[in-house]
Amino acid sequence: MNKSKSFSERDYIFVVKAFALLSIVAAHVATVPQNSPPWTVLLGYILSSIGSIGVGVFFLLSGYLYFRTTKTFCQFFYSKIRTILIPWFFCGTFLFLYVVLRKGGLNLYNWFTTLTVFSHLYYLTVLMIFYLLFWKLRNNNCFLIFFSCLSIISITLTGQEILDIYPYINPLNWALYFILGLLIRKYDLLEKLALFCKKWLVMISCVYVIILIIYLSWGIYISYWKHAAIIAELFAIALVLGISSYCSGMKKTNWFVYLGKMSFSIYLLHTPFAGIITNLFNHFHLWYFTLFRPLIVILMTLLGIEIVRYLSKKIKVNKIADILLGVYKTDRSRT
């Protein structure tokens, strides 16, 4: 299919990444004290619900970008050493040492599990598994359908607390969204899907808000696996695709694109800022800023990254710094 001149796939993906990043940060600033007033707890639940969107979106985008790679197996994984593994382990180690300074536990086992399992970096572990698992089978519809069914079953069993596997590191709990990305790319549906979600954005928004209200009325928030989580996640993904399509037509799109380009670096490094802001706001009972926490954390992280980049440029090590920080470069691709 020939893409219309008004649709920039590259910029659109960056805008989607920007909103997915906002969701992930929201998940890490949603904690409020147990004795908080009801409205503060409600705001925390809203942030937690928003926070359940981003990982699914990023897996969908990862599947979409992965399908079209023309590199050989060795070329592909060699490229990941620079674009993913180095910043992953460098930034992950930095965050691990930050935690160790506060809580202790300096040993090789804690370092490895922090980087691969028991932190927000689990996403990269699962992503590497998908890269290996789907290398030969990403174009096999029968396998994709079969694995999607396994994923749905796994999500359901996890929600029922029947499957006794740490849920975040279980690839089956995320495979559905990665496979959706593969299929969207295989059948060249991204532009059509973006325009469809934009056209029906009001209806999609209403449905998602209704789902959110139902959850909140039960005294719970939307999670990755419990209480019809797949339906909520799919509507949430459609909502992000629609909002991103709408924002892509705005004059200030460059801000969203820039944030999308910086999303990997911010994802890697935002958690110390998230902890500081969450503790600070909770301590001073700044409940009226609760919904602004993700944006504040993103801006603080972005400022920190840009300061490091500026200083590294002054001492002429900016290329190395960008690699270590996972900063997107226009001359290279993560696919």
Question: Looking at the domain assignment, is residue 9 inside a domain?
Answer: no
For residues 173 and 155, give the distance between their C-alpha atoms in angstroms, rounded to a whole number.
5
For residues 100 and 243, give the distance between their C-alpha atoms in angstroms, rounded to a whole number.
39
| Percentage of the chain exceeding pLDDT 90 | 91
Residues 217-238: what's their mean pLDDT? Answer: 95
Residue 229 and residue 155 in contact, taking contact as beta carbons nearer than 8 Å: yes
For residues 296 and 128, give the distance between their C-alpha atoms in angstroms, rounded to a whole number.
30
Give the sign of the dihedral formed by CA 303, CA 308, CA 314, CA 319.
negative
199-202: which pairs have CB atoms within 8 A and are 24 or more residues apart? 200/242, 201/239, 201/242, 201/243, 201/245, 201/246
Domain extent at residue 79: 14-325
**How many structural domains are present in the chain?**
1
* 278-333 pLDDT tens trace: 999 999 999 999 999 999 999 999 999 999 999 999 999 999 999 999 998 754 44
Question: Looking at the domain assignment, is residue 173 inside a domain?
Answer: yes
Residue 249 and residue 195 in contact, taking contact as beta carbons nearer than 8 Å: no
Residue 327 and residue 319 in contact, taking contact as beta carbons nearer than 8 Å: no
Which H, E and C letters describe the chain, residue by residue? CCCCCCCCHHHHHHHHHHHHHHHHHHHCCCCCCCCCCHHHHHHHHHHHHHCCCHHHHHHHHHHHHHHCCCCCHHHHHHHHHHHHHHHHHHHHHHHHHHHHHHHCCCCHHHHHHHHHCCCCCHHHHHHHHHHHHCCCCCCCHHHHHHHHHHHHHHHHHHHCCCCCCCHHHCHHHCHHHHHHHHHHHHCCCHHHHHHHHHHCHHHHHHHHHHHHHHHHHCCCCCCCCCCCHHHHHHHHHHHHHHHHHHHHCCCCHHHHHHHHHCHHHHHHHCHHHHHHHHHHHHHCCCHHHHHHHHHHHHHHHHHHHHHHHHHHHHCCCHHHHHHHHCCCCCCCCCC
Helix axes 293-314, 271-283, angle to 10 degrees: 140
* 89-148 pLDDT tens trace: 999 999 999 999 989 999 999 999 999 999 999 999 999 999 999 999 999 999 999 999
Residue 278 tokens read as 């969450």
pLDDT of residue 6: 74
Question: Looking at the domain assignment, is residue 130 inside a domain?
Answer: yes
Give the sign of the dihedral formed by CA 39, CA 45, CA 47, CA 50.
negative
Question: Looking at the domain assignment, is residue 86 inside a domain?
Answer: yes
Q: Of residues 335 and 40, which shows the higher confidence score?
A: 40
Residue 258 and residue 306 in contact, taking contact as beta carbons nearer than 8 Å: no
pLDDT of residue 3: 57
Question: Looking at the domain assignment, is residue 249 inside a domain?
Answer: yes
Question: Looking at the domain assignment, is residue 295 inside a domain?
Answer: yes
Question: Looking at the domain assignment, is residue 8 inside a domain?
Answer: no
For residues 333 and 154, give the distance between their C-alpha atoms in angstroms, rounded to a whole number.
32
* 64-84 pLDDT tens trace: 999 989 999 999 999 999 999
Question: Looking at the domain assignment, is residue 306 inside a domain?
Answer: yes
pLDDT of residue 5: 61
